[in-house]
Structure 1
């Protein structure tokens, strides 16, 4: 079996495993640690396995933590549309995933700021998410002092 093969979109088996979210940790860790696939591999659209797993609203936290804490996934990597994993989590209203990513980031970009503060389709982010994004954006831009 060729585990490092890619499909027409540049997706590896690791991308597909991460995209399963709720049940992916055993397979994701096997593919990285045993099969030697790189956790930061981007497909043709710039998506990493972390971009895909943060879309899941439930049950993906173990895989997200594994990629961030064990594999040191780049939290600021952007896809072809300029979206970081945090932006993807915010767009998918995966608030627990967004909160976790925020806890690991020192600063955020303008895209994350606008997503967290936007009021779309009747959905408003919890204040804790908005407050954290605002603080990290301001501190990252050097515009706030403690």
Structure 2
């Protein structure tokens, strides 16, 4: 699912013409063809100027890598139940992993549906468990 969020909206009138500008943030799912999306978005610009400022390809990581297995075990060791989720949006993962050719994953406490929203919050107990999980992953078995 392509998620869109209005980041900025401005409207103005100078007595002769109306002007509006809109900045959207799009979270692109892994199955989306970015070039096709760009083409479709630019097709809306008959009476408007449309600029695309950033378009980072989404990434889907493998679930069975040494890195993933270490995280799964560390989460279980802390009494958690690991689950896989599709994370959309730009992150270090989809910028660096393809260039470096290395496994990557996103991990952290809190409700990821609330990331980068006014309602983003985190339980301190979850935060402390997250630190323990990361410590176990980095220290090894």
Place the TM-score, normalised by the shorter chain, in its bin.
Answer: under 0.3
**TM-score in terms of structure 1 length:** 0.25
More helix by share: 1
Higher RCO (CA < 8 A, seq sep 6+) = 2
More strand by share: 2
